[in-house]
């Protein structure tokens, strides 16, 4: 089969790879119909390199089952499915406590197991998520980032009627806007420096959009909230700058959730840091998307709200291209040549 394999920083290749085969009786082989680029994939490509040289990359996908192991009971050949790409050990202290996202040996396909930038991918049955009627492959390919955002909201104490500020309107931020609505937010404030992203944020349910290039976000937010700020603030940009600014957006006693990963040192000016102490803020990290019982309510809820339309991922998808174009697209994205939302690859499509 053909696949995208990461060899080193800025070295991803479209080449032949052995087609996966059933080795354990609980395994399922899936023909990939759509697979998306994750922000973490871009960081691996640009800054960090692979966990294993030459590993098949990618983990956000949807497809059709083509083969199952002898012990597989709930999944059948021909089923339309997506998959939870994350493995946990089930044995460490955190797994035993049901805190699966904190597993000491947590790993995602595309890292140390072959990923989904390929014609076929293999997962255990427990990881396979059926796609309901009415949800297409493009939408289902985004269940993993949708579940990641849901996991972050479940970490909060958000109550219906509270206000949420979302810093960064990339893929995660745009999903966070919709999850905030699902969780009952009264007002949602979307913050970015990109007019196009802010327009999409408005389309997807943001009540207020704040362009923060010229005037600091906290000044604009406090102006429309009578100086109070939001109850919850979501850091979704993954920028060292916004990772400091986020503390100025919320009310006293409020919560900050970090969903973005800056992959750089975060230097916090005194002005922003003092908000944590003086305003008695709660600071939450959110990692991955699994919980107990595995893979967790995040996945069930994400698929449910995709089915009923409350999660609309179509406006987030900006590019749909053949997998063969992967190497050039990765390089184009990191060189910031054009505006990119979610990029989906299609292994079956040819130029």
pLDDT in tens, 269-323: 999 999 999 999 999 999 999 999 999 999 999 999 999 999 999 999 999 999 9
The mean pLDDT value for 193-221 works out to 97
Domains and CATH numbers, the chain: 2-146+289-346 (3.90.180.10), 156-285 (3.40.50.720)
Burial class of residue 161 (count of CB atoms within 10 Å of its CB; 0-12, 13-18, 19+): exposed
Q: Could you give the CA distance from residue 279 to residue 350 in angstroms, rounded to a whole number? A: 55
Q: What is the pLDDT of residue 336?
A: 85
pLDDT in tens, 71-102: 999 999 999 999 999 999 999 999 999 999 99
Bridge partner residues of 282 (DSSP): 255
Q: What is the pLDDT of residue 337?
A: 78
Beta-strand runs (E) in the chain: 2-8, 11-16, 27-36, 55-56, 60-68, 80-83, 86-87, 107-108, 120-124, 128-130, 164-167, 188-192, 208-211, 230-235, 250-258, 282-285, 317-322, 342-346
Q: What is the dihedral of CA 173, 175, 176, 177, to 10 degrees?
A: 90
Task: Indicate the pairing of strand 55-56 with strand 107-108.
Answer: unpaired
Residue 346's pLDDT band, with cuts at 50, 70 and 90, is very high
- In this prediction the pTM is 0.96
The mean pLDDT value for 155-181 works out to 98
Q: What is the pLDDT of residue 263?
A: 86
Burial class of residue 280 (count of CB atoms within 10 Å of its CB; 0-12, 13-18, 19+): exposed
Residue 350's pLDDT band, with cuts at 50, 70 and 90, is low
CA atoms within 13 A on the CB side of 273: 5
> Which segments of the chain does DSSP mark as H helices, in order?
39-43, 93-96, 137-140, 143-154, 171-182, 195-203, 217-224, 240-245, 270-278, 297-307, 326-334
Residue with tokens 């806007």: 177
Q: What is the pLDDT of residue 58?
A: 98
What average pLDDT does the chain have?
97
Kindly provide the b/e burial profile for residues 132-155, where b requires at least 16 CB atoms within 10 angstroms of the residue's own CB: eeebebbbbbbbbbbbbbbbbbbb
CA atoms within 13 A on the CB side of 325: 16
Q: What percent of the chain has pLDDT over 70?
A: 99
Residue (of 2, 102, 94, 139) closest to 57 by Cα position: 2
SS3 176: helix
Q: Could you give the CA distance from residue 5 to residue 52 in angstroms, rounded to a whole number? A: 10
Q: Could you give the CA distance from residue 141 to residue 125 in angstroms, rounded to a whole number? A: 17
SS3 116: coil
Q: Could you give the CA distance from residue 299 to residue 135 in angstroms, rounded to a whole number? A: 14
Q: What is the pLDDT of residue 351?
A: 54
Contact 285, 156 (CB under 8 A): no
Q: What is the dihedral of CA 30, 35, 38, 42, to 10 degrees?
A: 110
Q: What is the pLDDT of residue 217?
A: 97
> In Å, what is the CA distance from 124 to each residue of 8, 21, 106, 129, 275?
28, 12, 15, 11, 45
């Amino acid at each position: 089969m053909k696949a995208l394999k990461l060899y080193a920083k800025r070295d991803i290749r479209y080449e032949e790879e052995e087609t996966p085969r059933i080795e354990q009786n609980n395994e399922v082989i899936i023909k990939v119909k759509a697979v998306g680029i994750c922000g973490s994939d871009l960081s691996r490509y640009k800054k960090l390199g692979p966990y294993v040289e030459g590993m098949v990359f990618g983990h956000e996908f949807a497809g059709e089952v083509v083969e199952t192991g002898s012990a597989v009971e709930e999944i059948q050949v021909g089923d339309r499915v997506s998959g939870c790409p994350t493995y946990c050990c089930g044995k460490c202290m955190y797994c035993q406590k049901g805190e699966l996202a904190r597993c000491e040996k947590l790993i995602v396909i595309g890292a140390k197991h072959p990923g989904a930038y390929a014609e076929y991918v293999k997962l255990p049955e427990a990881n396979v998520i059926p796609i309901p009627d009415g949800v297409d492959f493009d939408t289902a390919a985004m269940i993993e980032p949708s579940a990641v955002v849901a996991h972050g909201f479940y970490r909060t104490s958000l109550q219906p009627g509270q206000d949420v500020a979302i810093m960064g309107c990339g893929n995660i931020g745009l999903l966070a806007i919709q999850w905030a609505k699902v969780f009952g937010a009264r007002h949602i404030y979307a913050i970015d420096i990109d007019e196009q992203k802010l327009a999409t944020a408005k389309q997807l349910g943001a009540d207020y959009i704040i362009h923060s290039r010229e005037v600091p976000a906290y000044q604009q937010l406090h102006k429309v909230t009578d100086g109070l700020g939001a109850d919850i603030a979501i850091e979704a940009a993954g920028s060292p700058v916004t990772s400091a600014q986020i503390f100025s957006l919320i009310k006293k006693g409020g919560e900050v959730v970090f969903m973005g990963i800056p992959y750089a040192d975060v230097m916090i000016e005194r002005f922003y840091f003092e908000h944590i102490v003086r305003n008695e803020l709660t600071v939450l990290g959110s990692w991955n998307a699994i919980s107990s019982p595995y893979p967790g309510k995040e996945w069930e809820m994400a698929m449910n709200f995709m089915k009923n339309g409350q999660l609309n991922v179509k406006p987030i998808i900006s590019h749909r291209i053949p997998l063969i174009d992967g190497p050039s697209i990765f390089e184009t994205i990191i060189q910031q040549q054009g505006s990119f939302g979610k990029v989906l690859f299609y292994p079956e499509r040819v130029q």
